[in-house]
Amino acid sequence: MKKLFISTLLLAGSTSYLNANQGVEIADGWKTQGDVRLGYVHYEFKNPPTPTSTGRKDSRGIYLAPKVSILTPKYKNFSVKATVAGVTDFGINDPAYETRNFAFDGTENKSFAIAQELFLSYSDQSHSFTIGRQELVTPLVEADDYYILANSYDAINYTNSSVNNFSFHLGYFYQMSGVWDSGANGTEFHSMSDSSFVAKEDKENADDTGIMYGAVEYKDENHKLKLWEYYISDLYNIFLADYKFSNKTQTLTYNASLQFVNYKEVGELASHDFTNIDYSIFSAKLDTSLENGIYADIAATKYTDGEGQGVTLGAWGGFPSYTYGFTHSYFIMGSLRDANIYKFQIGYDLQKVGLDNFRIEYRCNYYALNPNYSKSATDEAQELMRINGIKISYADNNGIYFNGMYEYRRLDKEENGFALRLIGGYRF
């Protein structure tokens, strides 16, 4: 694996300048693509790591995450893609400050390489089918490719778009890797049940089960409707409904959205009390953009008074709520049970002032918590949390990209803290 990883990187370095961001043709339709990502993360909880410190500890580190792919030519609509990826810190980070960075395995804290993708795909005008190891996006199980390294899944998925305005989805996830979103060792592949965040006993009772899903989506000029169902035998079932209405005038484009998500325990998990899951999320959002480069959105989310948010939100890469912050997992408090969340965001496309490909955003998230459920590390009741953040992003057609984010958090009964993420790279 290590030899393959190094040789593929050398190939990328020798050819990537030929056709940036489009992949590089090697010969007779064979191509290579890649992404060399460098990131610095700093999460400040005002709790330096010491032999006696508990709870979330201050964390920081710098990481390099190269990713290189080989793509075969298409033959009768079939093609194959293979990707090797890895993460390293060159040994320069202090392991004591890596407990919340989610770049390495939390116990091993060492560099790794992984076979990120190896799949066969077929596509024509009406059908798309993929089988094998892959990065992919669905509403509640997805790659999350805005951290150090994306999630990857051993999966089968099929999409049929032969009916006008409709698409139909069927699929199965067997196992995954992903340091941020896996409840197992994310630098290796584990079953979807082992990668969940339920209790150890529930993972064992689920016996390496996977996720079956089915969905129907409708889309026309003004309307978009998604209905997705995920069933994880002996763990829980998830249903998502999402509707968006879009329209525009000469100077204004706007989208109004409504969303409902339900999590419900099933099978063996429902028969025991190790983990309890039974709640819903209601969300609404309005986002707007003007011709002058200004865009803004407001959103509100209501969590019902049921259990399970801490073991379901964020599992397998899914964050459906319209109101999450830029690094939502990092700032999760004691509990979102029976909570209300509000978000306001405004941004500006700096191309309007001569800075092509730059955007700047400000976001405020307000969490109205239920003090009966949300508790601090010292078991004190929490009623609110506020997050204020600024994000600067850049992406050009040559493959260069950058995202810089700073967020400041105020949370009842805990020290104020901040998050800083600087992640950029080059795609070819």
Determine the average pLDDT of the residues in 215-225: 98
SS3 328: helix
The token duo for 283 is 């969300």
Name the DSSP letter for residue 263.
E
12 phi/psi in degrees, rounded to 5: -65, -45
Q: How would DSSP label each residue in 170-204? A: EEEEEEEE-TTT-SS-TTS-EETTTTS-S-HHHHH
- Tell whether the model's pLDDT for residue 14 goes beyond 70: no
Mean per-residue pLDDT of the chain: 91
Task: Using alpha carbons, select from 407, 413, 422, 421 the residue that is nearest to residue 331.
Answer: 407
Token readout for 193 is: 């049940």
Q: What pLDDT, on a 0 to 100 scale, did the predictor assign at position 333?
A: 64
Query: Which domain does 174 fall in, by range?
Result: 2-427
pLDDT digits (tens, 9 = 90+) for 321-333: 898 877 655 556 6
Query: Rounded to whole angstroms, how far apart are CA atoms 54 and 58?
Result: 11
Q: How do residues 154-207 score in pLDDT, each as one tens digit?
A: 999 999 999 999 999 999 999 999 998 999 999 999 999 999 999 999 999 999
Q: For the chain, percent helix, then strand, then coil, each to nearest 5?
A: 10, 50, 40
Percent of the chain at pLDDT > 70 equals 93
Asked if the model's pLDDT at residue 217 lies above 90, the reply is: yes
- State pLDDT tens for residues 259-284: 999 999 999 999 999 999 999 999 99
Rounded CA-CA distance 68/11 in Å is 9
User: For the whole prediction, is pTM greater than 0.75?
Assistant: yes
CA-based max dimension of the chain: 65
Q: Which residues contact 355 (CB under 8 A, 6 or more apart)?
A: none
Number of structural domains the chain divides into: 1
Q: 226 Cβ partners below 8 Å, 6+ apart? A: 139, 215, 217, 240, 241, 242, 243
The model's confidence at residue 318, banded by pLDDT at 50, 70 and 90, is confident
Report the distance separating Cα 338 and Cα 333, nearest Å: 13
Integer CA distances (angstroms), 242 to 20, 207, 226, 302, 309, in order: 36, 32, 5, 15, 19
Query: What is the pLDDT, as a whole number, of residue 17?
Result: 36
**Separation of alpha carbons 220 and 180, rounded Å:** 35
What DSSP designation does 75 have?
Answer: B
Q: What is the CATH number of the domain that holds 119?
A: 2.40.160.10
How many Å apart are CA 67 and CA 11, to the nearest integer? 12
Q: Give me the numbers of helices (H) and strands (E) for the chain, helices first please.
A: 4, 20
pLDDT band for 390, please (50, 70, 90 cuts): very high
**Which tens digits make up the pLDDT trace of 341-383?**
999 999 999 988 989 999 999 999 999 999 999 998 788 999 9
